[in-house]
Amino acid sequence: MRSRINSTSRKKIDSGMASFAVTASGDGLADFHAKIDLGPLKLSPAGEVVVEAYRQSVHERFGFGTVANTVAREPTRLRELGTDVRFRIKVIEPGTGRLLARGDKIGAVDSESSGRKELLKVVVRDLGQEPWKTELHADDGQPVLVLNDHIPDALAKIKSDPMFQGLILPGALRQILLMIWLEESEESDDDTDDEERWLTGWLRYARQLTGEDKPDWSDESAVRRWIDDVCRAFSAQFNLLHRLNPEG
């Protein structure tokens, strides 16, 4: 018989209570490190903490001790998922199996509980002396922001550190817009609005930022102005310069 978890009156674990860093290993697998603080929820100290790493229907489960001592009880090696993963955390009452708290999509930047599709995936990997770069994912073609795994707590910083965000995100956005221009310049048919294409969501987001439609891809001057306008609007929306220099 399949066991069931009673989720009555469970509390929500939000992204501010945990951070995850995933590192590719030399054998083609990946490891993750987690920092979890459930103190704000006032849970029973004996609650059992479980972390699940997942992508679509594949998941791997790890015991992380108790609320009072939340540390991994086993090696946190991802044997099936690689670095492109999300995490959920569960706190379970011993004996009864009652679900005391749960948090989903933790560590996934720009993911919302509403299920809105994220535009930019973020992973960590050894980049040598290069702090970060953008690339298109080999499997689904989606843009990925790659942070150097030698930067301590890189995934947590890109979510919460104003200096980190201000120095990386506008540049990453500019590179993605240039990728869009390159791809559209090589397309013979104008099927930009095809929902299956990765760039459709980005063009929609750019239009939300500026209120303007995409440019004529054959007009280089118009494209460059459009890219500048989108990056300027993005930076203004999040007050990036003020966050870098509050006194300025």
User: For each of the chain's 248 residues, which pLDDT tens digit applies?
Assistant: 344 444 457 899 887 788 888 876 655 677 888 888 898 898 999 999 999 998 877 889 999 999 999 988 888 888 887 777 889 999 999 989 999 999 887 764 333 333 334 578 888 889 999 999 999 876 667 889 999 999 988 888 887 788 898 999 999 999 999 999 998 887 644 554 555 678 888 999 899 899 999 999 999 999 999 999 999 999 998 888 887 777 76
In a domain, 233, yes or no: yes
Q: What is the DSSP string of 103-155?
A: EEEET-TT--TT-PPPS-EEEEE--TT--EEEEE-TTT--EEEEEETTSTTHH
Verify that 153 and 171 share a domain, yes or no.
no
pLDDT of residue 64: 94
Verify that 221 and 179 share a domain, yes or no.
yes
Final residue before a domain boundary, out of 157, 189, 205: 157
In a domain, 4, yes or no: no
Separation CA 22–CA 232 (nearest Å): 31
Verify that 27 and 74 share a domain, yes or no.
yes
pLDDT of residue 79: 82
Verify that 166 and 125 share a domain, yes or no.
no
In a domain, 6, yes or no: no
Verify that 166 and 153 share a domain, yes or no.
no
0.75 surpassed by pTM: no
Residue tagged 């590192």 (tokens): 23
CB 94 within 8 A of CB 66: no
Verify that 153 and 173 share a domain, yes or no.
no
In a domain, 5, yes or no: no
Considering its fold, how many domains does the chain have in total?
Answer: 2
pLDDT of residue 116: 38
Final residue before a domain boundary, out of 157, 173, 190: 157
Radius of gyration from C-alpha coordinates of the chain: 21
- For residue 113, give its domain range: 11-157
Verify that 28 and 86 share a domain, yes or no.
yes
Final residue before a domain boundary, out of 141, 157, 173: 157
DSSP 14: P
Verify that 49 and 118 share a domain, yes or no.
yes
